[in-house]
Amino acid sequence: MPVRRVPFTVAAVLTAALALTACDNDGKDVAGAPPAATVAPGGAAGSAPAEGGAGTAKPPAGATTPGAPKPAGTATPAGTRCTAADLELSVLGPELLADGKQPAYASLHAVNTSARTCTLTGFPGIQVADETGRTATPLTADRNTGFPATAVTLRPKQIANANLEYSNINAESSPSGRRVCGMTAGKVQVILPDETQAKTVKVTGGVDNNTLNICGKLSVQPFQGVPGANG
């Protein structure tokens, strides 16, 4: 397993404004499980139908909007989990180019800007769309289940981080165009664990100048605490 690098700059976290795949509490895929809601590719979200009321229809198992990221889900109690209202999100571009041994690592940072302590558990949902016109199909991040999806408790002003992994080198291109990838995105759609509302987050910094220049697959690690930042 490649050594994880966590490109983290606190100043970038607090100044960048940010914003998809379901997860369970142990970080494994939940095949065929009904999502809490469906999210349209543009980021608009709707609440799941309530159960039990007269004339209320439950969605079929596994139903999702084609191409849309699945809302994340964990077993964190509703009264303690971090919501979108509690957190300020930012995406920091990779500090280094990918190579034959290591991917490029961008970072999704979540800062608890509320006055309460809350908990994040699991994977954020991540989706990006190309802004250059090369493709009209959004790219949804796969979960990297090689990392444990453990609970991260955030007191006010503390930070959690979820790494995004991909290659920003096009090995099949000509030498002059090796960094021209099929997906170049300056924004990221994010759904937090246990949330259904997508947030749009701008990419800041990094070697690809405020973009994610993605060649091939994109994967996401679960939220983790940031060593040295949450003392």
pLDDT digits (tens, 9 = 90+) for 46-64: 434 333 333 334 333 433 3
pLDDT of amino acid 32:
40
Of 201, 188, 194, nearest to 151 by C-alpha is: 194
pLDDT > 60? residue 29: no
pTM: 0.66
- Assess if residue 156 is contained within a domain: yes
Q: Is residue 163 part of a domain?
A: yes
Q: Going by DSSP bridges, is the β-strand pair 142-143/212-220 parallel, antiparallel, or unpaired?
A: parallel
- Rounded to an integer, what distance in angstroms lies between the CA atom of residue 39 and that of residue 165? 23
% of the chain surpassing 70 pLDDT: 65
Q: Is residue 106 part of a domain?
A: yes
The percent of residues in the chain predicted with pLDDT above 90, rounded, is 55
* Whole-number Å distance between alpha carbons of 9 and 179: 25
DSSP at 124: P
In a domain, 17, yes or no: yes
Specify the number of domains making up the chain. Answer: 1
Residue 19 pLDDT greater than 80, yes or no? no
> For residue 186, what pLDDT is reported?
96
- Report the pLDDT value the prediction gives residue 176, as an integer from 0 to 100: 84
Q: Is residue 95 part of a domain?
A: yes
What sign for the dihedral angle of Cα 39, 218, 221, 178?
Answer: negative
- 56 domain-assigned: no
Instruction: Indicate whether 186 belongs to any domain.
Output: yes
Residue 190, CA distances (Å) to 28, 106, 110, 126, 152 in order: 19, 14, 11, 5, 18
User: What pLDDT score does 171 carry?
Assistant: 85
pLDDT in tens, 140-185: 999 999 999 999 999 999 999 999 999 999 988 888 889 889 999 9
Amino acid 60: pLDDT: 39
Range of the domain at 3: 1-34+64-231
Least confident window among 22-31, 65-74, 153-162: 22-31
Query: Does 1 map to a domain?
Result: yes
Summarised one tens digit per residue, pLDDT across range 98-156 is 998 899 999 999 999 999 999 999 999 999 999 998 888 999 999 999 999 999 999 99
Mean of per-residue pLDDT scores for the chain: 76
Q: Looking at residues 26-39, what average pLDDT do you find?
A: 41
